[in-house]
Chains A and B, each alone.
Chain A
Amino acid sequence: MEDWLKDVKPLTVKGQIAMPYTWSVGETGSSFLVALRDQTKILASRCDACGTVYVPPRKNCPKCFTDIQGSMEVGPEGTVEAFTIVRQGHPLHPAKAPFAYVLVRLDGSDVGFLHIVRDDWDKLAVGCRVKALFRAQRTGHILDIDTFQVI
């Protein structure tokens, strides 16, 4: 039998999916983003059962599966738990590469807080101290914290 596909040159078709969403932030998340925007404060919440202080704040403790009441302020300083320096730029990035991602244990909290370090990333080390710097123009967004800075 002759191979009827022997001489075919495979084509490709270009396309793109760009779908708008409007995600609800929820009450707990909204209190966090509003505090960033209006007070330049970082809010957390504490589980009364296990004592874990979560940032961003949670409405329920994922470990204890119980409700969490109330919020508290943490940071704006903290200690680096892990970091990486991103060398290659991509349109997704909020900063020009090279820049760093950090997991910061904000003072008063018990979990890592993910954010970026725009400058002085060459001074980063696990265990080093950093501080959140806020943007002048804030909109109620995670990037109202412009960056963490090594102190």
Chain B
Amino acid sequence: MERIAVVGVAQTPYERRKREQTYYDMVYDVTRRALEDAGYSLDDIDNVITISNDFWDGRTISSMAVQEAAGAHDKNVSTVEGDGTFGAFYGAMRVLAGFRTTLVVAHSKGSEGDPRFITNGMFDPIYHRPLGIDAIASAALQASAYMSRFGATEEQFALVSVKNHGNAKRNPHAQLPMDLTVEDVMRSRKIADPLKLLDCSPVSDGAAALVIASESAAKRARTRPVWIKGIAHCAEAYFLGDRDLANPLALKEAARKAYGMAGITDPRKEIHVVELYDAFSYMEPLWLEGMGFCEAGQGVRITEMGTTAMGGEMPVNPSGGVLSAHPVMVAGLARIIEAVLQLRGEAGARQVEGARTALAHGINGPCGQSHCVWILGGE
């Protein structure tokens, strides 16, 4: 693959409700700042990808309403309705196809709609939606399947919440920096067994943007380029019951392809920091297994051993992860942005020392129906 790089990033602080900003305002804000970060003017941007969803925005063809805020006036603009990692994937492909630069921008205001109605809307209207199933209840089914398969416990899942909310204390963009104990998580309000309030990510507002450039365009950027070494995504069955929920096959395939592109043969040794989509506490160990960092069922074990903690062998979610801020669709871009900051050595108090290769990850669909894996390198 030709060398392409992320050369500019920006994100809003993530908050429960941004009453003072419309989503247009947020998109304008992060677009301006991503350009500033890259040291580019709008003239340096060849094409724009916006990432939005009609249900979350409460507006059909929601992308049309933010194109000018994204600097796309008079430009080639296209849209991805899905997680930011998938939108950025499309942006990267456009650079590989011949554009010099792509600006990718995502926004979401979870505060404006009702996440239960909206996530119920992702399910089949004939067989599943009338049952009232939503993102949290379907995730709880996956957690149940995972626990029964491998004997994982709620206390082990709680450790992930404790770790990630603790990491968020060193991330000024995070919404929920918290000092928690396993007991705090265990005593939090039951939502859908085995998930309790502190096993679940919050409702969030926010936006994020990044600029992807060809090698020659990257030379003109102000920042040290962070190279895209491998990217892949893969999907599996739509119906929950058609999948083995405790075995994320689509993630295994996406990771295998991304590692192949990046020349990674031993991910545990060669990847120094991971930012993954922990919409619920149990997802972090399950996705770590899918990424091949440990054997099936051992994800909770490496969490217990401190492997994934700050200062551990392979810190996972130094940003605080999705548990600490969940602007839907933006969250995957936030994972890439954190990986970029880590590789630039600009992650401040949460910097993982010696991070040269990072993995960023996003999901689409209930319980990780599809996964997108990014391998980024600072060299």
Contacts and interface: CB of A to CB of B under 8 A. Distances in A.
Interface of A: 10, 12, 15, 17, 21, 23, 25, 29, 33, 54, 56, 62, 81-88, 90, 92-94, 101, 103, 111-116, 126-127, 141-143
Interface in B117-136: 117, 120, 125-128, 130-134
Nearest to B60: A17
Contact of B130 (A86, A103, A143): A143
Interface string B125-152: 1111011111001101111110010000
B42 interface: no
Given A92-B134, A114-B133, A116-B131, 10 more contacts: A62-B242, A82-B142, A86-B192, A87-B191, A92-B120, A94-B130, A94-B131, A101-B137, A112-B240, A114-B127
Majority DSSP secondary structure for residues of A touching B: loop
A62 B237 CA distance: 8
B145 A82 contact: yes
Nearest to A143: B130
B243 to A, nearest CB: 8
A103 to B, nearest CB: 5
Contacts of B191: 86-88
A84 B130 contact: no
Contacts of B194: 84
B140 A15 contact: no
A114 B193 contact: no
9 A-B pairs with least C-beta separation:
A112-B241, A84-B140, A126-B148, A92-B132, A82-B145, A93-B132, A82-B144, A85-B193, A82-B141
A87 B191 CA distance: 5
B116 interface: yes
A15 B134 CA distance: 22
B192 A85 contact: yes
B340 interface: no
Contacts of A115: 131
Nearest to B54: A17
Given A83-B141, A103-B145, A143-B130, A113 B241 contact: yes
Contacts of A116: 131
B310 interface: no
B141 A10 contact: no
A56 B128 CA distance: 11
22 contacts: A10-B20, A23-B125, A23-B126, A29-B126, A82-B142, A84-B137, A85-B190, A85-B193, A86-B137, A86-B192, A87-B190, A87-B192, A88-B192, A90-B134, A93-B132, A101-B192, A114-B131, A114-B240, A126-B145, A127-B148, A141-B130, A142-B130
